[in-house]
Amino acid sequence: MKIEILSLLAFLAARIVAKSLPPGDLRSLCPADQGQKTGTITFYNGVEAEYTCRVKVSGNPESTEVMAATPQACATKCIENPDCSSALLQASQKRCMLYTSEVTFKPHSRGSLYLKPIRKPCQDCQDEKERCERELDAQKEWDEHLQRDIDEFRDLLREAEQENKDLKAKLKTCEHREL
């Protein structure tokens, strides 16, 4: 009877711990009783990612290793790196492998999580882009205006040079008459 009660208590304790884990924790994303689970999660910091539990990357794709202890940290490091397309968290080693190209993966035992962050254009970036485009348009108008002024100045300079030549020619004519 004691063994049954202890087993029941251990089972309940494990369920309570599993339910009390924060969303995005590896154990809550990839419970021990489930196989290769896939889904989408939005972490506390707003980073959204597709994920697949219990995988390892096939082959030897180009990657960069960074330290990360949680799925959120790994996904965030990937989204902060413009070259990163996906990441693999090896939780027990606190390693996050950032991949620059699409990867293929195969099933693995435990402790690994494949993450593919979902990049969304931010409104601030769109506003900044529009502001830059307006400034570029204004600069183009200014450049066109300056080019018209330069062209007018060149025309005036040519006219002045021609007038100068004409005056020099008249001066020579006048000097020859006086002789």
Q: What is the CATH number of the domain that holds 113?
A: 3.50.4.10
The H-or-E segment that residue 61 falls in is none
On the question of pLDDT at 137 being above 60, the answer is yes
Residue range of the domain that includes 35:
22-119
Interacting residues of 62 by C-beta distance below 8 A, sequence separation 6+: 99, 100, 101
What single letter denotes the amino acid at residue 39?
A: G
Does residue 133 carry a pLDDT above 50?
yes
Band of the pLDDT at 103, cuts 50, 70, 90? confident
Summarised one tens digit per residue, pLDDT across range 72-91 is 999 999 988 988 999 999 88
Radius of gyration of the chain (CA): 36
Looking at the structure, do residues 37 and 94 belong to the same domain, yes or no? yes
Last residue of a domain, one of 119, 144, 171: 119
Confidence of residue 14 (pLDDT cuts 50, 70, 90): very low
Name residues whose C-beta falls within 8 Å of residue 72's C-beta, 6 or more positions apart in sequence.
Answer: 24, 43, 44, 45, 47
pLDDT reading at 6 higher than 60 = no
105 and 28 co-located in one domain: yes
* pLDDT value for 22: 46
Q: Does position 139 have pLDDT exceeding 50, yes or no?
A: yes
d(CA 77, CA 43): 13
* Shared-domain flag, residues 81 and 53: yes
In terms of domains, do 134 and 106 share one?
no
Name the domain count of the chain: 2
Backbone angles phi, psi at 58, to 5 degrees: -85, 150
Task: Specify the range with the lowest mean pLDDT, choosing from 4-8, 14-18, 51-55, 104-108.
Answer: 14-18
E strands, 36-111, in order: 38-42, 48-53, 55-57, 63-67, 86-90, 95-99, 105-107
Domain assignment present for 8: no
User: Looking at the predicted structure, is the pLDDT value of residue 123 above 70?
Assistant: no
Within a domain: 31: yes
pLDDT attached to residue 2: 53
Q: Are residues 115 and 157 in the same domain?
A: no
Sign of the torsion formed by the C-alpha atoms of 48, 51, 57 and 58:
negative
**Mean of the per-residue pLDDT values of the chain:** 80
